[in-house]
Amino acid sequence: MPDGPGGPQGPPRTLDRYQLLKIALKLCILEALWNPRSQQSVGLLTVIDPALAITHAGHPQALKEARKRNLDFFNTNPITSGLVIGALLRLEEEQAAGELTPQTDKKLVQALSSTLAAEGDQLFWQAWLPLCCLTGVLVTTLTGSLLGPLLIPIMFCALAWPVRIWGVFKGYELGCDVYRVYQLSHGERLIWAIQWLWLLILAFLTALAAYKVFLPAENPSRWSLLWALLSILAVWLYRRVSFGHWTIVGYLLYPVLLVVLFALATLFV
């Protein structure tokens, strides 16, 4: 990678944008042959093998070693896998140019895959997917249309696939510096905002369901306001348990707190 104007330029780039795009589009098969021993490694080698053949062209022994190395073990978040694979291809070029040893290459790939897997899990599994699911439920609840569930995969893929494809290009550009993408994109703030958004939707759905189930004939506005406040409090408790720093006691007491909360509302109102 360039170190600045007039600085060392690093090994030459062997892959063009078209070749990177083909790799990005093949990422859907990354987990096709997942197995307990090497996990995603078979899918990884299937995806990157044409690129390895270009990078190690004219060196059959180096190509054989690269295939064997990448078939050993690989596991990361499938959506942020583009960032890891792009960086992996850049590191392969550096190794082919003699700037990295195979051992260092392997350690760097494992570190990047673990780091980006954790960040991808937080963003997509703990934040974005719940928002997509609750949005589908919300649309069905408000409109009565059974097409609401179709919104879930549409919303999820609308973010997941651009990130997956863009990640290959960005990872190839940055190499082992790709871990900085999460910091530069303010990933923690984005996760926080998405989580609060789906928690607010959950609060609204809870209040709406409770209003329809428990609404008495007299004084409906009082019940509606009470259940709305209780649902918001329940969501706050859930957030404290799920995203806060409570101990295992908090996880065990949380269902009890909710039961007591709604029981008191039923008895005293």
Structural domain includes residue 241: yes
User: DSSP secondary structure string, 141-187?
Assistant: HHH--TTGGGHHHHHHHHHHHHHHHHHHHHHHHHGGGGGHHHHHTTH
pLDDT of residue 20: 93
Interhelix angle 41-55/17-25, rounded to 10 degrees, is 170
Structural domain includes residue 174: yes
Tell me if 135 is assigned to some domain.
yes
145 and 22 within one domain: yes
List beta partners, residue 39: 35, 74
The answer to whether position 113 is within a domain reads yes
For residues 106 and 197, membership in a common domain is answered with: no
Classify residue 8: in a domain, yes or no.
no
Query: Do 181 and 208 have their domain in common?
Result: no
Q: Residue 81, class by beta-carbon neighbours within 10 Å (0-12 exposed, 13-18 middle, 19+ buried)?
A: buried
Q: What is the pLDDT along the chain (269 residues), one digit of tens a residue?
A: 444 444 345 667 888 899 999 999 999 889 888 888 889 999 999 999 999 999 988 888 989 998 988 888 888 999 999 999 999 999 888 888 887 787 777 788 888 888 888 888 888 988 899 899 888 888 888 887 778 888 889 999 999 999 999 999 999 988 888 877 777 667 788 888 888 888 778 777 776 766 666 655 555 666 666 666 666 676 666 666 565 555 555 556 555 665 665 555 555 44
- The confidence score (pLDDT) of residue 160 equals 93
Distance CA 34, CA 43 (A): 7
Q: Which amino acid is at 2?
A: P
Answer yes or no: do 173 and 219 share one domain: no
SS3 label, residue 39: strand
Residues 112 and 179 sit within 8 Å (Cβ to Cβ): yes
Which residues neighbour 85 within 8 Å (Cβ) at sequence distance 6 or greater?
Answer: 23, 27, 44, 47, 48, 167, 168, 171
Q: Verify that 53 and 174 share a domain, yes or no.
A: yes
DSSP class per residue in 74-125: B---TTTHHHHHHHHHHHHHHHHTTSS-HHHHHHHHHHHHHHHHHHHIIIII
Q: Which domain holds residue 109?
A: 17-185
- Give the pLDDT score at 2: 41
Question: What are the beta bridge partners of residue 215?
Answer: none
| Total tally of structural domains belonging to the chain | 2
> Within a domain: residue 72?
yes
Q: What is the pLDDT of residue 252?
A: 60
Do 165 and 85 share a domain, yes or no?
yes
Q: CA 90 to CA 168: how far, in whole Å?
A: 10
Residues 165, 220: one domain?
A: no
The confidence score (pLDDT) of residue 225 equals 66
164 plus 196 within the same structural domain: no
pLDDT of residue 7: 38
4 domain residue, yes or no:
no
Q: What is the pLDDT of residue 253?
A: 58
What is the Cα–Cα distance from 129 to 195, expressed in whole angstroms? 10
Question: What is the reported pLDDT for 168?
Answer: 93
- 117 lies in some domain: yes
